Each structure stands twice: as structure tokens, then as C-alpha cells.
Chains A and B, each alone.
Chain A
């Protein structure tokens, strides 16, 4: 079955700098890769996703890149702001469109 590994577990960056979070997956048939943001005490919310027929997708300050050959995908946040502080989760399909296997999460800390 699918296995998703996420790194780093904690990332501390200076406000205004960029942050990159990386996930690797094991199932080469996986075709959908979402990223969710969970603020402290809140529910996870989808911030961006990418399908396997696309190599990169951007939405303002966030972007996701996908390398199907190496089986990894990354979240890039530019010009980080205090409101970017949260836990970020990646996920990949667990063998079907009905399951998602989640990474363990990355706690992003934005230092003022």
C-alpha cells in the first residue's frame, strides 16, 4: 500500500523568507496530491493540490511541485507571514480515489 513520508517535522523560518516542505510517496500509480493547513485548535483546510499530469501549480504565495520520477512533491511558501504559522500535511491516494494516506505533518514556525 501507499506510504507517505513528510520532512521536516518542524521548520522555523524568519518572516519574509521562504519555506519548503517535502513529501515522498511509494505508489507510482498515485495521481492526486493535496496539501492541508491546520492552524492551532482548528480543522485541516485544503490550501493547494496537484494532479499527476501537472509538474507545478501556483496560487499566490504558495506553490506545489511534483516529481513523478522521484516520487516526491513539495510545498513552497514564499514571503512567509505570521499567519502562515501552522501544521501542514501532505497526502496521497491509498490505492484508490476513496482513501488518503497522510504525512505526519510539519509544524511551521514563522519568527518575527
Chain B
């Protein structure tokens, strides 16, 4: 089954404790992206990747890191999480190196206390 998976789905952590949210797709998509979703603000792009080893900042990259060592995986790293990073995070991928027809993962709800 073609899909985008994220882990964990739910995470409660404390300020400053490094964490990684994994994202994997099995559709051989070149483009992958991370978004955060907050009430009243829609989806805001954190980072995106056009292909392996090619990443760039989105609108809200501060406090986040990403890597794209393999085509299928695009982990999101929070080196020192803070409470303002409490949010719902979505990973997405699409065929080709564009944002056309993005397929989203199930989401990761992160709470930082």
C-alpha cells in the first residue's frame, strides 16, 4: 500500500530534550516536506527537500533540523524543544521535485512541557 508513515504519533516531552520524528514514504517520491499545524494558522512549512541531500528552509525553520540521506526518509529533529513547538506535525511527499499533489502522513502530536 502506497503511504507516508510518521513515528511517533503522539509524544509528550520536556523542554530541552532532543527528539526526532521520523517520516518515511514508499512511493519513490522526490519531494518531501514538513509542516506544523496550529489552530487558526493553517499549515506552515518548516523544511522541504527536492531530492536526496537537497533541503531548504520553509517559512518557520527556527528550532528544527532535517536530513535527507535516503530518498524514502526525511526525519525532523528538534535539538532543544521548547513549549512553543507544541503542535501537530505533518510530513508530506509528492512525485517529482514539486509540491503538486502532496500525500500527507497521519500526523504527530507533540507536546513540550
Asked if A99 and B99 sit within 8 Å, CB to CB, the answer is yes
Looking at the assembled complex, report how far the CB atom of A5 sits from the nearest CB atom of chain B, in whole angstroms: 11
A99 & B48 in contact (Cβ 8 Å cutoff)? yes
Q: Is the CB of A98 within 8 A of B50?
A: yes
Q: Collect the chain B residues with CB atoms within 8 Å of residue A9's CB.
A: 40
* Interface of A (DSSP majority class): strand
For chain B, what secondary structure do more than half of its interface residues adopt (helix, strand, loop), or is it mixed?
loop
Tell me the complex Cα distance, A100–B33, Å: 10
Interface residues of B in 15-49 (CB under 8 A from A): 31, 40-45, 48
Docked Cα-Cα span, A101 to B41, in Å, equals: 11
Residue from the list B40, B97, B104 in contact with A97, Cβ < 8 A: B97
Do A105 and B42 contact each other (CB < 8 Å), given the known contacts A43-B104, A94-B59? yes
Total number of B residues with any Cβ neighbor in A under 8 Å: 23
How far, in whole Å, are A32 and B94 apart by their CA atoms in the complex? 14
Given A43-B90, A98-B56, A93:B104 Cβ within 8 A: no
B42 and A98: CB pair below 8 A? no
Are A102 and B43 interface neighbours, CB within 8 A? yes
Q: Which A residues touch B53, using CB under 8 A? A: none
Q: Does B48 lie within 8 Å of A98, measured CB to CB?
A: yes
- B67 lies within 8 A of chain A by Cβ: no
* Contact call A46/B43, Cβ cutoff below 8 A: no
Cβ of A49 and Cβ of B104 under 8 Å apart? no
Most chain B beta carbons < 10 A, residue from A46, A98, A103, A104: A98
Residue in contact with B99 in the complex, picked from A45, A89, A98, A103, CB distance below 8 Å = A98
B102 within 8 A of A: yes
Given A43-B105, A44-B43, A105-B42: A99 touches B58 (CB 8 Å cut-off): yes
Which B residues are within 8 Å of any A CB, using their own CB? 31, 40-45, 48, 50, 56, 58-59, 90, 97-102, 104-107
Q: Given contacts A43-B90, A44-B90, A98-B97, could you give 15 more A-B pairs where the C-beta distance is less than 8 Å?
A: A34-B101, A43-B106, A44-B43, A45-B104, A93-B99, A97-B97, A97-B98, A97-B99, A97-B100, A98-B48, A98-B56, A99-B48, A100-B99, A104-B40, A105-B42
